[in-house]
Amino acid sequence: MAKNEKLENAIDKLIRKVSTFEPESFAGFFAYLIKRRPKDFIDIELNKFESKLKDFFYLIALNSFTENKGYEPFDFNPATISELADLVNEIRSCYHVQNFEDYTEDAAIHEMAFRNHFDNGVLSYVEQDLEKIRTVFQPFEEKISEAFGLDIDFLIEVYKATELVAKIRFEQVMKFTHTKEFNEFHAKFHSKQITFSEGIDQLPEEVSDALLSFHAKTHAYLLFSKEDLYHTLDKVKVDKFLDLFSCKPSSLKSFRYYTENNPIELAPIIEISENKYLHICQKQIPIAIYRRMYDFLSKDESFKDKIRKHREKELERKVAEIFRSVFNDSSSFLYENYFVVEGHEQDLLVLTKGTAIIVETKASKLREPFRDMQRAIVRLKDDFEDSVQYGYNQCKRVENLFAGQERFDIEDDKRKVLYTVNPARFHSVFSIVVTLERFGSLQTDLNLLLKKDKTDNYPWSVYIDDLEIFLLTLKHHRRNPQGKFLDFLRSRRQLHGHMYAIDELDVCGYYLKQPEKFKDFAQMSDTLCQFSVYEQAIFDEIYHSGGLRFKEEPMPDFHRYFSSNKPHSKAKD
């Protein structure tokens, strides 16, 4: 009871604090930080937020949906930022184990799952999210269009259009930064030759006005109107899209807790006033589209099984496509939907130069963890059993044949023999379980929940988007990507039981940067290896240089978009 009182008091205090601020300036401040992602070391107060995206969503929602609306403009104030961070962290801490003596293995597992679900946003690149919308929902387009008046192409194109409009406005707003005078001011200010106010006085009026205007409203370029989207998109569909994926700052007494469904995650655009919209997080738009469409179809009895089965098939197809793009030489052979034991279909087998890679895919849902630890552990273990454990068991069925002495056949669903395997010709066998849900730390360290014989090797269990990012990086930016991947798998399975990582890309990123050190760590079974979230920065660097080469494009075709007049925003400042 004391814990609940502490939580309620902290929430009340935070609501009182955020409700004093005017909604646009408050939401705009944090929306700018979400979009531009300033470097973590720039400001220590912002670094007090432990999970910036989720924390900022929570603050914006509390401010937008509070009963009493404030009028005080919100701007950067270190003391205020620090206070907000402390209050959010206090609220989050109430959901974790309070006493050290209560911190059992089950408590640790519960906290890992809890943090994975509530602390992290969806970690992927937007091109991956767009591809999922297209491949998962295209067969159900008629049903979706009938219900929402929106087709799949439009849902993808409208997101791209919002990104382009924001890009154009940002370039307009920041035009002053390309002037000679501003660059001289910038150099002198950062070398402490002049103060900010002294430098402003020395700038031409046009440049100083633009700089001060930007500082006064950093989020201005994230504002837009319907007309910005009418430029190339159907007016009726734009209106329907905004009705579905935007929300108005209004009283919503039911929203209060950090762990409840945040309205902004499903409607990441705020309608500030009539025909004036603010993007909170454009990256969230495809995620919101996917969630809404999947929830809609899965609640319809006539489509529930169809969408689930189609999603599973799409996962299998995508995984096979990824492996085929890397193992594409004449020495590699891939078998999909094959049989080695009658009545038991397997997903994918890669045979390459004396190595076998057994791959199983699992699209099972990872449900929201209960707050109550005992109930949560039961649910977590059930979900893990249905996904990672089941996938491993399927892999093990094939592993056992490779470990034996007898030859065995790989057959298709017609019992046609595709290849006869001689186990003696294979020196290495790896198992991989690819999931459609991200299990976080419970997936990076399989020692926590996976059941296996002590002498058996661990599989590699990985979230589908992480697999794609890692293998695309190896393919386009490393010599001998096949060899590097097998080298990674060999060391990776040795890390379970003495490692900690929130996300698999932290582990993959470290391997790419320091492969030899990675091997050394893998062999130090008595040493806890921790992988920082900053390790995956290598993927962002490659992504922003255009080096990952996803199928979908994040922007619309520039020349097509400008076949008529430029879409200057008509949103009122």
pLDDT in tens, 146-197: 999 999 999 999 999 999 999 999 999 999 999 999 999 999 998 999 999 9
Contact call for residues 181 and 209 (beta carbons, < 8 A):
no
Task: Single out the residue of 60, 79, 77, 76 nearest to residue 19, CA to CA.
Answer: 60
Which residues have a Cβ under 8 Å from the Cβ of 191 and sit 6 or more positions away?
none
Contact call for residues 431 and 392 (beta carbons, < 8 A):
yes
Contact call for residues 193 and 242 (beta carbons, < 8 A):
no
Which pLDDT does position 102 carry in this prediction?
Answer: 58
Task: Single out the residue of 292, 438, 449 nearest to residue 381, CA to CA.
Answer: 449
CA dist., res. 518 & res. 491, Å (int): 8
Which residues have a Cβ under 8 Å from the Cβ of 1 and sit 6 or more positions away?
none
Which DSSP category does 73 fall into? P
Residues of the chain with pLDDT under 50: 1-2, 41, 564-572
* Phi, psi at 464, each rounded to 5°: -55, -45
| Side-chain half-sphere CA neighbours of 425 within 13 A | 8
Tokens describing residue 388: 């990672």
Which pLDDT does position 119 carry in this prediction?
Answer: 61
CA dist., res. 346 & res. 335, Å (int): 9
CA 383 to chain centre: 20
SS3 348: strand
Which pLDDT does position 416 carry in this prediction?
Answer: 97
Which pLDDT does position 402 carry in this prediction?
Answer: 98
With vertex at residue 225, the alpha carbon angle to CA 222 and CA 228, rounded to the nearest 5 degrees, is: 90
SS (H, E, C) 452-477: CCCCCCCCEEEEHHHHHHHHHHHHHH
CA dist., res. 309 & res. 312, Å (int): 5
Task: Single out the residue of 229, 228, 263 nearest to residue 249, CA to CA.
Answer: 263
Which pLDDT does position 568 carry in this prediction?
Answer: 37
pLDDT in tens, 394-407: 999 999 999 999 99
Query: Beta strand pairing status for 344-352 and 355-362?
Result: antiparallel
Which DSSP category does 388 fall into? I
Strands (E), 292-373: 332-341, 344-352, 355-362
Instruction: State the pTM of this model.
Output: 0.91
SS3 421: strand
Contact call for residues 156 and 133 (beta carbons, < 8 A):
yes
Task: Single out the residue of 337, 336, 334 nearest to residue 351, CA to CA.
Answer: 334
Q: What is the largest CA-CA distance in the chain?
A: 85
CB atoms within 10 A of CB 13: 13
CA dist., res. 48 & res. 86, Å (int): 7
Instruction: Report CA Rg, the chain.
Output: 26
Task: Single out the residue of 259, 250, 281 nearest to residue 268, CA to CA.
Answer: 281
Which residue do the tokens 């269009």 mark? 145
CA dist., res. 391 & res. 120, Å (int): 25
CB atoms within 10 A of CB 443: 28
Tokens describing residue 401: 């044949």
* Phi, psi at 25, each rounded to 5°: -65, -35
User: Which strand (E) or helix (H) includes residue 23?
Assistant: helix 23-36
With vertex at residue 34, the alpha carbon angle to CA 28 and CA 38, rounded to the nearest 5 degrees, is: 110
Q: Angle formed by the axes of helices 235-245 and 152-173, to 10°?
A: 80
